[in-house]
Protein backbone atom coordinates (compact mmCIF):
# COMPACT_ATOMS: atom_id res chain seq x y z
CA UNK A 1 0.00 0.00 0.00
CA UNK A 2 1.41 3.35 -1.03
CA UNK A 3 0.86 5.68 1.91
CA UNK A 4 4.07 7.67 1.32
CA UNK A 5 5.18 7.04 4.90
CA UNK A 6 8.49 8.81 4.37
CA UNK A 7 6.62 11.80 2.99
CA UNK A 8 4.41 11.83 6.08
CA UNK A 9 7.46 11.87 8.34
CA UNK A 10 8.93 14.80 6.45
CA UNK A 11 5.61 16.61 6.71
CA UNK A 12 5.72 16.68 10.46
CA UNK A 13 9.45 17.37 10.57
CA UNK A 14 9.10 20.44 8.35
CA UNK A 15 8.40 23.78 10.04
CA UNK A 16 4.74 24.80 9.86
CA UNK A 17 5.22 28.55 9.47
CA UNK A 18 2.08 30.69 9.36
CA UNK A 19 3.70 33.00 6.82
CA UNK A 20 2.33 33.06 3.31
CA UNK A 21 4.13 30.98 0.69
CA UNK A 22 6.03 32.74 -2.09
CA UNK A 23 3.84 33.75 -5.02
CA UNK A 24 5.99 32.09 -7.67
CA UNK A 25 6.32 28.40 -8.45
CA UNK A 26 8.86 26.56 -10.57
CA UNK A 27 8.96 27.64 -14.23
CA UNK A 28 6.06 26.13 -16.15
CA UNK A 29 6.86 23.09 -18.27
CA UNK A 30 6.17 23.06 -22.00
CA UNK A 31 5.35 19.36 -22.45
CA UNK A 32 1.97 17.59 -22.45
CA UNK A 33 -0.81 19.02 -20.30
CA UNK A 34 -3.11 16.92 -18.12
CA UNK A 35 -6.40 18.28 -16.84
CA UNK A 36 -7.83 16.92 -13.60
CA UNK A 37 -11.57 17.57 -13.52
CA UNK A 38 -12.31 17.41 -9.80
CA UNK A 39 -15.41 17.86 -7.66
CA UNK A 40 -13.97 21.22 -6.58
CA UNK A 41 -12.88 22.50 -10.00
CA UNK A 42 -10.35 21.85 -12.75
CA UNK A 43 -6.57 21.66 -12.31
CA UNK A 44 -4.27 21.93 -15.36
CA UNK A 45 -0.81 20.42 -15.05
CA UNK A 46 2.04 21.00 -17.52
CA UNK A 47 4.41 18.03 -17.53
CA UNK A 48 8.23 18.07 -17.56
CA UNK A 49 8.69 15.45 -20.26
CA UNK A 50 12.35 16.27 -20.90
CA UNK A 51 13.48 16.35 -17.27
CA UNK A 52 11.31 13.50 -15.95
CA UNK A 53 10.66 11.21 -18.96
CA UNK A 54 10.02 8.01 -17.00
CA UNK A 55 7.68 9.69 -14.54
CA UNK A 56 5.76 11.61 -17.21
CA UNK A 57 5.33 8.48 -19.34
CA UNK A 58 4.04 6.64 -16.27
CA UNK A 59 1.60 9.45 -15.37
CA UNK A 60 0.30 9.67 -18.94
CA UNK A 61 -0.16 5.90 -19.09
CA UNK A 62 -2.33 5.95 -15.96
CA UNK A 63 -4.24 8.99 -17.24
CA UNK A 64 -5.00 7.50 -20.65
CA UNK A 65 -6.04 4.20 -19.04
CA UNK A 66 -8.64 6.00 -16.94
CA UNK A 67 -6.95 4.98 -13.70
CA UNK A 68 -7.43 8.37 -12.03
CA UNK A 69 -11.12 8.67 -12.91
CA UNK A 70 -13.11 8.25 -9.70
CA UNK A 71 -10.10 8.39 -7.39
CA UNK A 72 -9.85 10.93 -4.58
CA UNK A 73 -7.40 13.27 -2.92
CA UNK A 74 -7.19 11.17 0.22
CA UNK A 75 -4.58 13.19 2.18
CA UNK A 76 -4.70 16.96 2.54
CA UNK A 77 -2.30 18.69 4.95
CA UNK A 78 -2.43 22.50 5.28
CA UNK A 79 0.85 24.30 4.55
CA UNK A 80 2.22 21.10 3.02
CA UNK A 81 0.50 19.23 0.17
CA UNK A 82 -2.55 17.36 -1.19
CA UNK A 83 -2.11 13.73 -2.24
CA UNK A 84 -4.26 11.55 -4.46
CA UNK A 85 -4.53 9.26 -7.44
CA UNK A 86 -4.61 5.88 -5.77
CA UNK A 87 -7.82 5.35 -3.81
CA UNK A 88 -11.54 5.54 -4.41
CA UNK A 89 -14.05 7.29 -2.16
CA UNK A 90 -14.26 4.24 0.11
CA UNK A 91 -10.47 4.40 0.63
CA UNK A 92 -9.96 1.21 -1.34
CA UNK A 93 -6.61 1.28 -3.13
CA UNK A 94 -6.64 0.60 -6.87
CA UNK A 95 -4.36 -1.91 -8.56
CA UNK A 96 -1.27 -0.36 -10.12
CA UNK A 97 1.48 -0.99 -12.63
CA UNK A 98 5.02 -1.86 -11.41
CA UNK A 99 6.89 0.90 -9.54
CA UNK A 100 9.14 3.29 -11.43
CA UNK A 101 12.59 4.81 -11.06
CA UNK A 102 12.84 7.85 -8.79
CA UNK A 103 13.84 10.77 -11.03
CA UNK A 104 14.26 13.30 -8.20
CA UNK A 105 17.90 13.75 -9.27
CA UNK A 106 16.57 15.90 -12.13
CA UNK A 107 16.89 18.71 -9.55
CA UNK A 108 13.37 20.03 -10.12
CA UNK A 109 12.37 21.51 -6.77
CA UNK A 110 9.30 20.75 -4.69
CA UNK A 111 8.12 24.36 -4.85
CA UNK A 112 4.56 25.56 -4.45
CA UNK A 113 2.45 24.47 -7.41
CA UNK A 114 4.70 21.60 -8.47
CA UNK A 115 3.46 18.02 -8.80
CA UNK A 116 5.56 15.08 -7.57
CA UNK A 117 5.25 11.35 -7.10
CA UNK A 118 4.30 9.88 -3.73
CA UNK A 119 6.15 6.79 -2.59
CA UNK A 120 7.02 4.66 0.42
CA UNK A 121 10.36 4.80 2.24
CA UNK A 122 11.80 2.83 -0.69
CA UNK A 123 13.06 5.47 -3.19
CA UNK A 124 12.01 3.55 -6.32
CA UNK A 125 8.50 2.61 -5.15
CA UNK A 126 6.27 5.23 -6.82
CA UNK A 127 3.37 3.88 -8.86
CA UNK A 128 0.23 6.01 -9.43
CA UNK A 129 -0.13 8.32 -6.44
CA UNK A 130 1.06 11.91 -6.70
CA UNK A 131 0.92 15.09 -4.65
CA UNK A 132 0.70 18.83 -5.27
CA UNK A 133 2.85 21.08 -3.12
CA UNK A 134 0.95 23.98 -1.56
CA UNK A 135 4.13 25.68 -0.34
CA UNK A 136 7.86 25.43 -1.05
CA UNK A 137 8.89 22.09 0.48
CA UNK A 138 12.68 22.07 0.17
CA UNK A 139 12.90 19.16 2.62
CA UNK A 140 11.46 16.92 -0.14
CA UNK A 141 14.12 17.82 -2.69
CA UNK A 142 16.87 15.50 -3.89
CA UNK A 143 19.96 15.75 -1.70
CA UNK A 144 18.09 17.57 1.06
CA UNK A 145 15.61 14.93 2.17
CA UNK A 146 17.73 11.97 1.05
CA UNK A 147 16.74 10.58 -2.37
CA UNK A 148 13.93 13.14 -2.63
CA UNK A 149 10.54 13.11 -4.30
CA UNK A 150 10.45 13.36 -8.09
CA UNK A 151 8.81 16.52 -9.44
CA UNK A 152 7.38 15.99 -12.91
CA UNK A 153 4.97 18.85 -13.52
CA UNK A 154 3.60 22.26 -12.55
CA UNK A 155 0.05 23.42 -11.93
CA UNK A 156 -0.56 26.16 -14.50
CA UNK A 157 -4.25 26.72 -13.74
CA UNK A 158 -6.28 25.74 -10.70
CA UNK A 159 -4.03 26.45 -7.71
CA UNK A 160 -7.05 28.24 -6.25
CA UNK A 161 -8.80 24.87 -6.41
CA UNK A 162 -5.87 23.20 -4.64
CA UNK A 163 -5.92 25.91 -1.96
CA UNK A 164 -9.59 25.19 -1.33
CA UNK A 165 -8.87 21.47 -1.14
CA UNK A 166 -6.20 21.86 1.51
CA UNK A 167 -8.60 23.87 3.68
CA UNK A 168 -11.40 21.27 3.88
CA UNK A 169 -12.35 19.49 7.09
CA UNK A 170 -10.50 16.20 7.58
CA UNK A 171 -10.88 13.05 9.62
CA UNK A 172 -9.40 9.57 10.03
CA UNK A 173 -10.83 6.83 7.87
CA UNK A 174 -9.82 3.25 7.23
CA UNK A 175 -6.56 3.66 9.10
CA UNK A 176 -5.65 6.83 7.21
CA UNK A 177 -5.30 10.33 8.61
CA UNK A 178 -5.95 13.74 7.03
CA UNK A 179 -8.79 12.35 4.91
CA UNK A 180 -11.35 14.93 3.66
CA UNK A 181 -14.73 14.47 5.36
CA UNK A 182 -16.41 15.11 2.02
CA UNK A 183 -14.51 13.21 -0.69
CA UNK A 184 -12.58 15.38 -3.14
CA UNK A 185 -13.02 13.35 -6.31
CA UNK A 186 -11.07 13.33 -9.55
CA UNK A 187 -14.07 12.88 -11.83
CA UNK A 188 -11.92 12.63 -14.93
CA UNK A 189 -8.27 13.03 -15.93
CA UNK A 190 -7.52 13.80 -19.56
CA UNK A 191 -4.53 14.69 -21.74
CA UNK A 192 -4.33 17.87 -23.76
CA UNK A 193 -1.87 18.59 -26.55
CA UNK A 194 1.43 20.21 -25.65
CA UNK A 195 1.41 24.01 -25.58
CA UNK A 196 4.16 26.52 -26.38
CA UNK A 197 5.85 27.73 -23.20
CA UNK A 198 4.92 31.35 -23.89
CA UNK A 199 1.22 30.46 -23.98
CA UNK A 200 1.20 28.87 -20.53
CA UNK A 201 -0.10 31.19 -17.80
CA UNK A 202 1.79 31.69 -14.56
CA UNK A 203 0.60 29.81 -11.45
CA UNK A 204 -2.09 31.56 -9.41
CA UNK A 205 -0.69 33.43 -6.35
CA UNK A 206 -1.38 31.64 -3.06
CA UNK A 207 -4.02 32.41 -0.52
CA UNK A 208 -2.61 33.32 2.93
CA UNK A 209 -1.22 30.23 4.64
CA UNK A 210 -2.45 31.42 8.03
CA UNK A 211 -5.92 29.95 7.42
CA UNK A 212 -6.70 27.74 10.44
CA UNK A 213 -6.93 24.01 9.93
CA UNK A 214 -10.28 22.39 10.63
CA UNK A 215 -10.60 18.93 12.12
Q: Name the pLDDT band for 7 (thresholds 50, 70, 90).
A: low
Instruction: Please write down the long-range contacts of 136-139, taking CB distance under 8 Å and 24 or more positions apart.
Output: 136/21, 136/22, 136/109, 136/110, 136/111, 136/112, 137/10, 137/14, 137/80, 137/81, 137/110, 137/111, 138/109, 138/110, 139/10, 139/13, 139/14
Which segment of 85-94, 130-139, 203-212 scores lowest on mean pLDDT?
A: 203-212
Has residue 49 got a pLDDT over 60?
A: yes
Which segment of 13-27, 45-59, 85-99, 169-183 scores lowest on mean pLDDT?
A: 13-27
Q: Give the model's pLDDT for residue 174.
A: 84
- The Cα–Cα gap between 133 and 151 comes to 10
- The Cα–Cα gap between 148 and 146 comes to 5
Residues 86-132 have pLDDT tens digits of 999 999 999 999 999 999 999 899 999 999 999 999 999 999 999 99
Which domains occur in the chain, in start order?
23-187 (2.40.100.10)
More confident residue, 53 or 211: 53
Please answer whether residues 162 and 41 qualify as being in contact, where contact means their C-beta atoms are separated by less than 8 angstroms.
no
Assign 213 to helix, strand or coil: coil
Share of the chain above pLDDT 70, in %: 75
Has residue 35 got a pLDDT over 70?
A: yes
The pTM for the full model equals 0.81
User: φ, ψ for residue 93 (rounded to 5)?
Assistant: -80, 135
Please answer whether residues 140 and 110 qualify as being in contact, where contact means their C-beta atoms are separated by less than 8 angstroms.
yes
Residues 139-155 have pLDDT tens digits of 999 999 799 999 999 99
Neighbouring C-beta atoms of residue 61, cutoff 10 Å: 12
- The Cα–Cα gap between 94 and 155 comes to 24
- The Cα–Cα gap between 22 and 157 comes to 17
More confident residue, 5 or 23: 5
Amino acid sequence: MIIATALLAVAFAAPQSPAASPTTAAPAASGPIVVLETSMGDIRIALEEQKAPVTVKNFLTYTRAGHYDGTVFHRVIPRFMVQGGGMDATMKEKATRPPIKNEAANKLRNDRGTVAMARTAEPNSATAQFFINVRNNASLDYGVGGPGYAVFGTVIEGMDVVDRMVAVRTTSKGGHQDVPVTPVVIKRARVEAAAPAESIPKPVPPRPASMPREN
